[in-house]
Amino acid sequence: MLHLARRAHVLLLSGLLLAGCASAPPPAYRSETFAAESPFVTWSTRDPDAACEVGKRALLSQGYQVDASNATRIRGEKFFLPKTDYGMTLNITLVCLPSNVGTAIYANALQTRYELKSAATSAGVGVAGIGSISLPWTADKEALVKVGEETIADPDFYKRLFGLIDSLQGS
């Protein structure tokens, strides 16, 4: 009888593990195509330093905080608060490398999502002879907690970014 109970327990655990695996999304690397045409690159006739300078100006013109400590690698960050308990950051990195036409400008954007979470604590009181009581105590400790992050792969997003960079190259 004990053997049957153990066997049923093992089968139940195996079934739960299989159900958990079946609901997981497929690994991201399987959909990675490494296509020759990419929305993440555009070209400029300027040298790499000058091309990235234009990219820096494009990000600054849109309200991004820019770290330009490296002349050919520009990082911009912008914060969004679409709802009071939900925030997002958009980080854009521009890398300018020499190419046969002048410069290849590579862009990568990463969106990070945050939600406001409150931390509940409990307070315990011990009284000799009676025992102890533990009560939930709501604290005012709220924090934005990262709930997701993804690389932006939308070609239209990069068309808009590169369109702005192109429009500023003439100035």
Give the model's pLDDT for residue 11.
58
Low-confidence ranges of the chain (pLDDT < 70): 1-22, 119-140, 171
* Topology (CATH) of 38-122+136-169: Alpha-D-Glucose-1,6-Bisphosphate; Chain A, domain 4 (3.30.530)
> What are the domain boundaries of the chain?
38-122+136-169
**Cβ neighbourhood burial of 74 (10 Å; 0-12, 13-18, 19+):** buried
Name the helix (H) or strand (E) containing 111: strand 102-127
Q: Identify the pLDDT of residue 36.
A: 87
pLDDT of 71: 95
DSSP state of 23: H
CA pair distance 102, 78, nearest whole angstrom: 29
158: nearest Cα among 97, 98, 93, 108: 108
10, exposed or middle or buried, with CB in 10 Å at 0-12, 13-18, 19+? exposed
**According to the model, what pLDDT value does residue 80 have?**
95
The structure's pTM equals: 0.73
